A = this chain, B = another copy of it.
Amino acid sequence: MDLPTADRPAARFDVFAASCPSRRLLDAIGNKWASLVIVALGLEGPMRYSELSTRIDGVSQKMLTQTLRGLERDGLLTRTVTPSVPVRVDYELTPLGLTLLEPMRHLKDWAETHMPEVDASREAYDQKDT
């Protein structure tokens, strides 16, 4: 691209700098809808808009659309329109999007393994203050 050499040296990957790519990663997958979409498509392959809508419980139409557009922009999924009578739109993870599944799985594993501990800790913490 056209990155000036200026922001290469000092910047590298400093998660603590506001300009770090890592921060933008959180924008991409840090919100629940985005991650849920990724996981849904990862687990079940291509899905239609309505399928995603049903599958991901609680998401509003606006948020779903907005999330999908964002992920498409990021190159994590593709949007395919089939101009049939009732329009049909399919969403599918790109190869890039698929690579996200791995790290996500690790997080998922962590959650499944340790959330009970977190819950216990929360209870204990809240107890003190009661």
Interface residues of A (CB under 8 A from B): 1, 9, 13, 15-18, 21-26, 28, 30-32, 35-36, 39-40, 55-58, 72-76, 96, 99-100, 102-103, 106-112, 114-123, 125-126
- The contact of A25 among B28, B99, B111, B121, by CB within 8 Å, is B111
Chain B: minimal CB distance from A8 (Å): 11
Copies of chain A in the complex: 2
- The contact of A110 among B25, B56, B58, B111, by CB within 8 Å, is B25
B-chain residues with CB within 8 Å of residue A15 when the two chains form the complex: 36, 39, 108
By beta carbon, the residue of chain B nearest A69 is B125
CA of A111 to CA of B25, assembled, Å:
6
